[in-house]
């Protein structure tokens, strides 16, 4: 009986090594996945320093204009808003992001109380160099910057790891932002 | 066990692996589009863990059989060096399924989805991210292996007039 694994030529095994190497790169290339999670990107003190000189409202305070202008929802509208965040034909956000304070982190940063935070400071996520540069340039997440980011992530911050198509529909983006304001109070 | 029985057993195992692969592949194609907190997603995920584990066990058994009864080149038109190419790719394919199974189980273990010892907190986000990445990488690995097996089968058909669509040895 012939033992082909022993008689195989070096080039046969070389192809396997090449395919394996390419395969290890593909999750990063296609999904923006990264094999290691950074537990803490920035200390609480450093985050405070970044925000101390910027006067942003508390987006989650029930007296803020952002909360006051949130529309009261019927059951059907609430489902619509949730679907914009969760569903495949909506923003697809929930596939990678958690939102509630008690939710466990998934592949992407937790979005709990995202508004008013500097970019690139969430825990348990390894940020791209592009997003770290944005943090150092002072990018803050506000409803307006999130709207710009999710409309075309790669155009807004080239080289960031959120490799999904942008949400062209303005109404869907508005629903997602309202959901972020409502759900992480 | 004689050679004939071993050959039959190897062939049956290969078919089972092939069918399980089709089921798992359909499952992984559908699951990402289902909302994460829905009941349907939960069912699809549990089904993935069950069928993926079966695929792992069968692939492991197929590799064990491989060393007892190595697949042979039965076609006189196909040179041994060309057969060795397919042979190495098919062997790697089963190894990829085993690696996929191990990384998948570890991923589910560190995500708290499966527990071998009840009552122990196994959730670890950092390790889950790492093995999750490996699980995805091995997934790409077996897809590229299958594409290359098909490519070589077509090449052998043109070059040596050997007609075989056998992807799994």
Query: ipTM value of the model?
Result: 0.92
A164 touches chain B (CB under 8 A): no
CB A39 within 8 A of CB A123: yes
- B68 and A CB contact within 8 Å: no
Chain-chain contact of A31 with B36 (C-beta, under 8 angstroms): no
Q: Does A107 touch chain B (CB under 8 A)?
A: yes
Residues in chain B closer than 8 A to A94 (CB atoms):
35-37
Residue of A nearest to B146 (CA): A19
pLDDT tens track for B61-92: 999 999 999 998 888 999 999 999 999 999 99
Quote the mean pLDDT of chain A: 92
B140 near A CB under 8 A: yes
Per-residue pLDDT tens digits for A90-113: 888 999 999 988 888 999 999 999
Is B87–A19 a contact, with Cβ atoms under 8 angstroms apart? no
Residues of A in contact with B138 (CB under 8 A): 23
Single out the residue of A162, A135, A146, A155 nearest to residue A33, CA to CA.
A162
Instruction: Give the pLDDT band (50/70/90) at residue B4.
Output: confident
Are the CB atoms for A163 and A142 separated by under 8 Å? no
DSSP B41-96: HHHHHHHHHHHHHHHHHHHHHHHHHHHHS------TTS-HHHHHHHHHHHHHHHHH
A24 contacts in chain B (CB < 8 Å): 137
Tell me the per-residue pLDDT of A15-74, one tens digit each, with 9 for 90 and over: 999 999 999 999 999 999 999 999 999 999 999 888 888 888 888 888 888 888 888 888
Q: Answer whether B36 sits within 8 Å of A3, measured CB to CB.
A: no
Query: According to the 3-state scheme, what is the secondary structure of B116-160?
Result: CCCCCCCCCHHHHHHHHHHHHHHHHHHHHHHHHHHHHHHHHHHHH
Q: What is the pLDDT of residue B45?
A: 96
> What's the CATH architecture for A37-183?
Orthogonal Bundle (1.10)
Q: Is it the case that residue A185 has pLDDT exceeding 80?
A: no
pLDDT of residue A56: 85
- Structure confidence at residue A143 (pLDDT): 94
* Token duo for residue B16: 């089972």
Position B149 scores a pLDDT of 96
Q: Do A86 and B138 touch (CB under 8 A)?
A: no
For residue A61, count other CB atoms closer than 10 A to its CB.
12
Smallest CA–CA distance, residue B31 to chain A, in Å, is: 11
Contact A117, A59 (CB under 8 A): no
Per-residue pLDDT tens over the stretch A116-134: 999 999 999 999 999 999 9
Nearest CA in chain B to A96: B36
φ, ψ of residue A140 in degrees (nearest 5) = -115, 145
- The pLDDT tens digits of the residues spanning B123-167 come to 999 999 999 999 999 999 999 999 999 999 999 999 999 988 788
Residue A8 pairs in a beta bridge with none
Question: Are residues A4 and B145, on separate chains, in Cβ contact within 8 Å?
Answer: no
């Amino acid at each position: 009986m012939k033992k082909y694994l022993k008689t195989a030529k070096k080039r046969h095994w070389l192809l396997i090594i090449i395919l394996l190497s390419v395969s290890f790169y593909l999750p990063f290339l296609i999904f923006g996945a990264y094999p290691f999670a950074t537990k803490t990107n920035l200390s609480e003190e450093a985050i405070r320093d970044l925000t101390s000189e910027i006067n942003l409202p508390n987006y989650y305070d029930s007296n803020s204009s952002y909360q006051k202008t949130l529309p009261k929802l019927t059951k059907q509208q609430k489902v619509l808003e949730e679907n914009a965040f969760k569903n495949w034909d909506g923003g697809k956000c929930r596939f990678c992001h958690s939102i509630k304070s008690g939710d466990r982190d998934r592949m992407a940063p937790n979005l709990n109380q995202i508004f008013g935070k500097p970019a690139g400071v969430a825990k348990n996520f390894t940020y791209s160099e592009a997003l770290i540069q944005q943090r150092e340039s002072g990018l803050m997440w506000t409803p307006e910057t999130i709207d710009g980011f999710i409309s075309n992530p790669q155009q807004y911050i080239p080289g960031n790891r959120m490799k999904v198509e942008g949400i062209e529909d303005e109404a869907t983006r508005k629903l997602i932002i309202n959901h972020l304001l409502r759900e992480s109070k | 066990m004689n050679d004939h029985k071993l050959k039959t057993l190897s062939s049956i195992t290969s078919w089972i692996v092939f069918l399980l692969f089709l089921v798992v592949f359909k499952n992984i194609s559908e699951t990402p589009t289902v909302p994460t907190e829905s009941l349907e997603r939960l069912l699809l995920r549990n089904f993935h863990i069950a069928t993926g584990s079966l695929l792992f066990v069968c692939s492991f058994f197929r590799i064990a059989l491989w060393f007892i009864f190595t697949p042979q080149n039965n076609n006189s038109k196909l040179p041994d060096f060309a057969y060795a190419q397919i042979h190495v790719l098919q062997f790697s394919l089963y190894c990829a399924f085993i690696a996929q199974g191990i990384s998948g189980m570890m991923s589910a273990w560190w995500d708290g989805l499966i527990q071998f010892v009840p009552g122990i907190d196994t959730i670890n986000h950092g390790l889950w991210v790492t093995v999750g990445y490996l699980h995805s990488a091995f997934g790409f690995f077996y897809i590229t292996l299958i594409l290359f097996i098909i490519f070589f089968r077509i090449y052998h058909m043109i070059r040596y007039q050997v007609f075989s669509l056998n992807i799994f040895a």
